[in-house]
Structure 1
C-alpha cells in the first residue's frame, strides 16, 4: 500500500546571486496511523521540508506523492484543492481570524470545500470543538481564549475537512507546559487513535521522544 505521503529525492533550491538549498535530496514516507517528529538545529530546513509536504512550496526537483498520486503535474488550483481536501495544518501561531468566533474559524475550511450544507458545517464545527473540550468556547472571539484554547481551535480547524495528513510546525512553541502537554497528547491521538498520518516539526525533545519515528535534518539533508 502507498504511504499517506512520500517524498522521492526532493530538493528545494532558491535561485539568487548566491543560490540557497533549503532541502537537499530528501526521501521519506509517512504512513497512516504514524506520528513522525522532524528535528534538527534552527535553520536546518525542517519547516521547508514540512511546507513541501504540505504543497505550500514546490520542489526544484524530485517527486511528492500524496495518497499514491504524484503531484508533480498539479497546477496551482489542483494543489490548493489537494491541501483543502487531504491536508490539515497547525502552526506555532494559531492564526485564528479575530473577526470570527471559534466555531466560525473552524467552519471556514468546510465552507471553502463546499462539500456540506451550512447546517451540517455548523454542527460539525461544534462537534470538533466539543471533542477538544471547547464546547463552552464555541461562540467566543479569539481574544477571549487562552493560548492553549486557541491552539486547540486551530487543531479543530485543521480537522474540519477530515484530512488524512496533519502537518504541525512547532505547535507547542508558544504554550506553557500544561497547555503544551495537552496539545501534544491531542496530536499523538490524531495518529494513534484516529489513524491519520502526522508530521510534527518540534524542538521539544520530550514531544519528539513520544513520536513513532524521528527524522533529523541538518543543512537541508535528512540524516541517516
Structure 2
C-alpha cells in the first residue's frame, strides 16, 4: 500500500477521532457545568424581585450574599398524610375560590400567586389547624383544589419562616432561618442543646424552592451565621 492510499484511509479516521474527542470534551464540560450550576441558586430565583427585596433587606444587618447559598437537599413536595384534594367543577366554585384567595391580599404572612388562584400562609400564629412552624398551601391546579401542609420546620431549632413569594403560577420560594446544629432526628428525641432566641446561636438561612409541576423541593442553605435572633427578627 503506497503512502497516498494510506493517507486517504487514515485522514477520515483521524477526523472522526477528533470529532469524537471534541464531542466528549463538550459533553464532559456541559455535565460538569450543569453539576456546578445545580449547587447554586438558580437564576430564576436570584433574579426575581422577591429574592432581591429579601436579600437587600437582610444585607442591611447581616453579612450575606446570594453566592453563600448552595444546594443541600432535594425531595418531593406532597405528603399524602396531609394532602386534601377535591375537584371544582363549576364556574361558581372557581369564583368562590378566587374571592377567598383575594381576601388575603392585605394580610401579612400570606403570599398569593400571579393568577390569584393559590396562596401560601406562613403566618406565625396558630390558624385553622396549622401551627407557626407550618406553611399552608391552598390553591387551584387546573380544576383540582389542593389543600395541604407544604412545609414544616423544627421548633427546637428556633425556626422561623420569614418570607414566601411566587416566581410564577407553578413555582415559589419559602425562606427559613433556623439553628444550624439541630437535626430532625435529635429534635424528635428531645436531645437538642437549648439556645434561646435572645442568645447568640449558629443559624443558617434555607431557601425552599418548590416546583409544583415536577413535585420537587430544592433546599438551598446559606453559610453559618452567628446571630441573636431576637435582635433581627423584627426586621424580617
TM-score, scaled to structure 2: 0.22
Q: Which has the higher strand share?
A: 2
Greater RCO between the two (CA within 8 Å, min separation 6)? 1
Larger Rg: 2
